[in-house]
Chain A
Amino acid sequence: MPETRTISFGEAVNAALRRSLEERPEVLLYGEDVGVPGGVFGVTKGLHKQFGDRVFDTPISESAILGSAIGAAMFGRRPVVEIMWSDFFLVALDQVVNQAANVRYVSEGRLTAPLTIRTQQGAVPGSCAQHSQSLEAFFLHTPGIRVCMPSTAQDAYDLLLAAVDCDDPVVVIENRALYHAGKTEVEVGGPVAPIGGARPRRTGDAATVVSWGTLSSQAVVAADSLASEGHEVEVLETPWLDPFPWDDVTASVARTGRLVVAHEANHTGGFGAEILARVAESGITLRAIPQRVAVPDMRLPAAPELARAVLPDAAGIADAIRRVVS
């Protein structure tokens, strides 16, 4: 029965995992330290105790974790595996790009790989260059893989369930800054939504701001400050990046004629570039030069004061909005 709970983002992930394990006997949950320790961020706490050997710890072997999940999925399991930091994907990207993404297409659907890969990413104060990257574009450049990036506790719950339900390989990118950042009301136990869809976080006609991940909330803050300057801005959060809600974005931009995209990934080759390109291709006549808010093309420093100088924030997004509305 659906019920409303006041829980954190991390607890919402835990609730979705628990429900998946309860409702789908073919679900397995494994990865580095996700079993007995309950995850380095405590997100999988209690699940090994409740579900026994369906929830287990693995060697620090990302290729074996991902590849075995693909193999198990080809044989009827529905594994949910964890890559502790998205940066760690890079030692095993072959299993995502060359293996998981190809299984269904090359076999004409005779073999499939319905697995969910949870990870978390993003910069927080003090995190080093190998623990702070935003790598969603890598997966978005890989047809066959679905990708989402929830930023609210409700979406953390809903999107993970949708991912587990999906018959494609899905990469769910969470954010450790959000896991324990406060509790909100989350409706749990309702019907599982299909993958995809946009989240309008604010409405307005002055400009369209598209964002995902932790910057979504910053985009709303920026839009609020623009409202105080007399510009009502639309903020579209797009927690599903594949499939991407192209129609929602182009409909909004067609109405506002002004576009800002904000992401915590690097500028060049970031998904913001694709959004600007698609809007250009759609033939919409923009009334201002579109803006991208992103990390400049550089490495990320550990010292918080250095990182702050290059990480996008609400002020940076507000400046970008001012450039399009002025």
Chain B
Amino acid sequence: MTETDRMLRDLRDIWRIRLLEEKVRDLRASGEIVGSVHLCIGQEAGPVGACDALRPTDALFVTYRGHGWAVARGVPVVGILAELLGRASGVNGGRGGSAYFSAPEYGFHGENSIVGAGAPLAVGAALAGRYDGTDRAAVCVFGDGAMNQGAVHESMNFAAAFDLPVVFVCENNGYSELTPIRDMVRHDVLAERARVYGLLGERIDGDDPAVVRERVADAVESAREGGGPVLLELMTARLVGHYIGDAEQYRAPGELERLAEVEPAARLGRALREAGVPDADIDAARADAAAEIDAAEAEALAATPADVETVRSHVHA
């Protein structure tokens, strides 16, 4: 695959996530989707780059802002939308909803609605690999806010103590929910915390899928080969609220306009144009994604609602 082909594919994958999120926003506004929804608009390059560096057998645990990670991991968009819409054909039959669904058959071991709580689970997935003869790596994704959660620190130390192949991916979008991360820490280069636990740590451009792909691939390979866990701090920005309905009063004047100039799709489009790729190809990346999302929406909306008869099943074995 040529470099520009890969860039075009990344752009299409970014649009697949972004347009899904915009669709979710619309469906939430119209009342088809209800409840708490956390969109990842602006943060798409991280999942697109990172998931490309994983094997199907690797473990992936993410946060409630996880739709993009699910898409990038290969979970069908229709299954995600159906899940958010409470349909029987949702990836969890409507039990997970927007903020807590999983699809292990696609290597997506789930969102988590408790900040930082997925980190110990990822450690366990890596621990299991030590005994089951696989060389599974586990990737755990969380936000900058989770870097102040005890479970994350316990997990980094636990994984480091036992040289477990865990890659901790911190998506630093600048805000711990509604509060600037810089106000919640004394030293805001979060990747530097890795060193004290004996992890490799690196802050990288999280809005460039090529950079993310390369650094995650290196981290996963190093961890898999016994080099110990790694912490990657992906610098990114969320272009929308923490949740749908967030008034975003924490934004500086002009902040969103400035971010719109450097968000991943805009950046990648410019880079493709500079590389001489015709506008028609660049536009097609978005159009292809839009067609997929529209079709998925129609299919999900037409799907049967989750079956009330089954609501009590699977509480126990």
A residues lining the B interface (CB < 8 Å)? 26, 28, 53-54, 58-59, 61-64, 66-77, 79, 91-92, 94-95, 98-99, 102, 104-112, 114, 143-144, 146, 166-168
Contacts and interface: CB of A to CB of B under 8 A. Distances in A.
A74 B124 contact: yes
A94 B316 contact: no
A168 B123 CA distance: 20
Interface of B: 59, 61, 92-93, 95-96, 100-105, 109-110, 112-114, 117, 119-132, 136, 138, 150-151, 154-155, 157-158, 161, 313-317
Contact of A77 (B61, B119, B132): B132
A162 B195 CA distance: 43
A170 to B, nearest CB: 10
Nearest to A104: B314
Contacts of B121: 67-68, 70-71, 74, 99
Given A77-B128, A167-B317, 11 more contacts: A28-B131, A53-B130, A63-B117, A68-B120, A68-B127, A71-B138, A74-B104, A107-B110, A146-B316, A166-B317, A168-B316
Contacts of A79: 124
Nearest to B136: A75
Nearest to A57: B161
- A-B pairs with lowest CB-CB distance, top 3: A67-B120, A71-B124, A167-B317
A70 to B, nearest CB: 6
Contacts of B117: 63, 67, 94-95, 98-99
A63 B150 contact: yes
A105 B314 contact: yes
Please indicate which of the listed interface residues A62, A102, A108 has the most CB atoms of chain B within 10 Å of its own CB.
A108
A105 B126 CA distance: 23
Contact of A111 (B109, B150, B316): B109
B161 A144 contact: no
A74 B122 CA distance: 10
B157 A75 contact: no
B127 A74 contact: no
A226 B119 CA distance: 54
Contacts of A70: 120-121, 124
A211 B126 CA distance: 41
11 contacts: A70-B124, A71-B122, A74-B104, A75-B124, A77-B127, A77-B131, A104-B316, A105-B95, A106-B92, A110-B105, A144-B316
A61 B114 contact: no
B114 A94 contact: yes
Contacts of B124: 67-75, 77, 79
Contacts of A91: 150
A64 B123 CA distance: 8
A167 to B, nearest CB: 4
A64 B151 contact: yes
Given A67-B151, A99-B121, A107 B104 contact: yes
Contact of B154 (A63, A69, A111, A114): A63
A61 B120 CA distance: 10
A95 B132 CA distance: 23
Given A99-B121, A105-B95, A109-B314, A64 B157 contact: yes
Nearest to B161: A59
Given A75-B124, A106-B100, A61 B109 contact: no
A85 B315 CA distance: 27
Please indicate which of the listed interface residues A63, A92, A95, A102 has the most CB atoms of chain B within 10 Å of its own CB.
A63
A64 B120 CA distance: 5
B157 A110 contact: no
A47 to B, nearest CB: 16
A146 B317 CA distance: 11
A110 B104 contact: yes
Nearest to A112: B317
Nearest to B151: A63
B111 to A, nearest CB: 10
Nearest to A107: B102
Nearest to A114: B317
Contact of B120 (A66, A102, A108): A66
B93 A108 contact: yes
Contacts of A59: 154, 157-158, 161
B316 A68 contact: no
Contacts of B130: 53
Please indicate which of the listed interface residues B100, B102, B119, B314 has the most CB atoms of chain A within 10 Å of its own CB.
B314
A75 B151 contact: no
Contacts of A146: 316
Contacts of A62: 154
A143 B315 contact: yes
Nearest to A77: B128
Contacts of A144: 315-316
A167 B132 CA distance: 19
B127 A98 contact: no
A208 to B, nearest CB: 27
Please indicate which of the listed interface residues A74, A92, A168 has the most CB atoms of chain B within 10 Å of its own CB.
A74
Contact of B95 (A61, A63, A74, A108): A108
Nearest to A66: B120
Contacts of A168: 316-317
A71 B127 contact: yes
B123 A71 contact: yes
Nearest to B311: A105
A74 B136 CA distance: 13
Contacts of A66: 120
B315 A95 contact: no
Contacts of A166: 317
B120 A71 contact: yes
Nearest to B150: A63
B315 A71 contact: no
A147 to B, nearest CB: 12
A71 B130 CA distance: 13
B128 A61 contact: no
A14 to B, nearest CB: 22
